Amino acid sequence: MQAVNSAGTITIDAEDVGESRLVTVSDTGPGIARENLDKIFEPFFTTKSPGQGTGLGLFVSRGIVEKLGGSLEVASKIGQGACFRIRLPKHLNGADGITESRAENWDEKITSRFTK
């Protein structure tokens, strides 16, 4: 949201893909420079001014998604925005102590928040 100005658009989509749930978040912002695409998931990497961010958001987000057995990827071109794809399993199968009962209907809860 920080990279999209007031005239920009953020689109969130969720769909079933086999045994996974794919959540796509795309924007019409300025895009991410090619030389930064491999760095944005590194801890403390930021292109923001000092005091504007720690560079931990995407690092932590990817860690959470991977701990749940999923993946977080990005595609972007300068001037065309960015697209983040989060793929999570529909069933957690006890990944790292997380049981289905603790995360019951997580995908339905996420989807319902964005379709209201």
Tell me the CATH number for domain 10-110. 3.30.565.10
SS3 70: coil
Q: What is the pLDDT of residue 113?
A: 52
pLDDT in tens, 97-111: 555 544 555 555 555
Name the residue ranges covered by the structural domains of the chain.
10-110
Angstrom distances, CA of residue 98 to CA of 68, 69, 76, 101, 102:
8, 11, 32, 8, 7
Q: What is the mean pLDDT of residues 59-63?
A: 95
Share of the chain above pLDDT 70, in %: 77
pLDDT in tens, 19-42: 999 999 999 999 999 999 999 999
pLDDT in tens, 74-92: 999 999 999 999 999 998 7
